[in-house]
């Protein structure tokens, strides 16, 4: 079975994309799935949050892979993490320049797809963490992916900018990646005690219906602390509510995948 490739995207910053990519990837790896996370955000928060700040293979980081004249062997860019079963292709700051440099390259929107395709036989899940914009890097993520996971804050302005994101997904489907589906919308930094969080999550569920994950990620300080230790929350404090919420999200996805698998073979 080829890996499922999931892009984590929302052009808003600070909604929990990177936190979700790291903790969901780590939770699936601990469930003995083979997982690769690819950092395509020039802020490189996934890379540092998983303990690989400033590290790369001799080939370089995702920047060199994306901007090379001919598509290189992507396996040469993969690093192991301290989490067994979790590998990462790291990013660094210079990735900022990639958006401009890629413009003149052939198939500029499909570069990441060509790279990731090489590795789908070796993993069960590939996550792509994207930057807070709808530029060429995020577009590459969406074109490379089977599905998109959209983290959203349970806050008043959560739905602002949603139309733009939805129309980008439609454009990608219409041209570059007809099969792109929504993996799910994930409510993050939820504070169940406030009416506002409740009201906003109701609105998001009305809009996206069954596409919203049952699992809701609470606001939890441990999730904010873990990356400064270079660890996913499950290894930093496995009893924290944040760590448990991401384990529950991983279970929800594994469960859905096994149902789909059973339907395919019945
Ligand atoms: N559920 C949460 N509870 C508390 N802090 C969180 C939570 N999710 C993310 N954070 C923190 O909020 C900030 C933004 O999250 P991040 O995942 O980096 O968002 P994005 O990748 O969308 O910009 C980070 O400092 C992160 O550690
Ligand atoms: Mg991020």
Task: Say what percent of the chain tops pLDDT 90.
Answer: 85
- Quick check: CB of 13 below 6 Å from ligand 1? yes
Are 130 and 40 contacting, i.e. CB atoms less than 8 angstroms apart? yes
Asked if pLDDT for residue 27 goes beyond 80, the answer is yes
Q: CB within 8 A of 10, min separation 6: which ones?
A: 17, 132, 150, 151, 152, 165
Mean pLDDT of 44-62: 97
Asked if pLDDT for residue 52 goes beyond 80, the answer is yes
**What is the side-by-side order of every strand in the sheet holding 35-39?**
79-80, 86-89, 35-39, 125-129, 4-8, 147-153, 181-190, 212-218
The pLDDT-based confidence of 194 (bands split at 50, 70, 90) is confident
pLDDT given at position 189: 94
How does pLDDT run across 151-190, given as a tens digit for each residue?
999 887 888 888 899 999 999 999 999 999 999 999 999 9
The pLDDT-based confidence of 261 (bands split at 50, 70, 90) is confident
Q: Which ligand is nearest to the CA of 46?
A: 2
Closest residue CA from atom 13 of ligand 1: 14
Measured CA to CA, the distance from residue 215 to residue 201 in angstroms comes to: 12
- Quick check: CB of 219 below 6 Å from ligand 1? yes
Lowest mean pLDDT among 49-58, 74-83, 122-131, 201-210: 201-210
Exposure class string for 200-230: b at 16+ Cβ within 10 A, else e: bbeebeeebeeebbebbbbbbeebeebbeeb
Nearest atom within ligand 1 for CA of residue 15: 22
Q: Which ligand is nearest to the CA of 227?
A: 1
CA of 243 to the centre of ligand 1 (A): 13
Q: Which domain holds residue 146?
A: 4-265
Three-state SS for 195?
helix
How does pLDDT run across 86-145, given as a tens digit for each residue?
999 999 999 999 999 999 998 999 999 999 999 999 999 999 999 999 999 999 999 999
Lowest mean pLDDT among 27-31, 101-105, 111-115, 224-228: 101-105
CATH code of the domain containing 157 = 3.40.50.300
Task: Give the number of domains in the chain.
Answer: 1
pLDDT given at position 176: 96
CA of 18 to the centre of ligand 1 (A): 7
CA of 208 to the centre of ligand 1 (A): 22
Q: Which ligand is nearest to the CA of 223?
A: 1
Reported pTM: 0.97
Asked if pLDDT for residue 32 goes beyond 90, the answer is yes
pLDDT given at position 158: 80
pLDDT given at position 66: 97
Measured CA to CA, the distance from residue 51 to residue 147 in angstroms comes to: 26
The pLDDT-based confidence of 28 (bands split at 50, 70, 90) is very high
């Amino acid at each position: 079975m080829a890996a499922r490739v999931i892009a984590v995207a929302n052009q808003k910053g600070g909604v929990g994309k990177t936190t979700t990519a790291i903790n969901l990837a780590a939770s699936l790896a601990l469930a003995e799935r083979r997982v690769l996370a690819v950092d395509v955000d020039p802020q490189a928060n996934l890379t540092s949050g998983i303990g690989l700040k400033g590290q790369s293979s001799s080939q370089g980081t995702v920047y060199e892979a994306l901007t090379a004249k001919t598509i290189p062997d992507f396996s040469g860019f993969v690093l192991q993490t301290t989490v067994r079963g979790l590998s990462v292709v790291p990013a660094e700051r210079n990735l900022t320049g990639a958006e401009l440099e890629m413009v003149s390259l052939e198939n500029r929107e499909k570069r990441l797809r060509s790279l990731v395709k090489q590795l789908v036989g070796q993993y069960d899940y590939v996550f792509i963490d994207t930057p807070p914009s709808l530029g060429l890097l995020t577009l590459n993520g969406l074109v490379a992916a089977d599905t998109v996971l959209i983290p959203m804050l349970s806050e008043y302005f959560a739905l602002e900018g949603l139309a733009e994101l939805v129309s980008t997904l439609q454009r990608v489907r219409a041209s570059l990646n007809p099969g792109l589906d929504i993996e799910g919308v994930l409510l993050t930094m939820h504070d169940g005690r406030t009416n506002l969080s409740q009201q906003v999550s109701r609105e998001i569920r009305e809009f996206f219906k069954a596409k919203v994950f049952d699992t809701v990620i609470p606001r939890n300080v441990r999730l904010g602390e873990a990356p400064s230790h270079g660890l996913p929350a499950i290894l930093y404090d496995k009893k924290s509510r944040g760590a448990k919420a991401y384990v529950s999200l991983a279970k929800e996805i594994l469960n859905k995948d096994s149902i789909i698998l059973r339907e395919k073979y019945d």
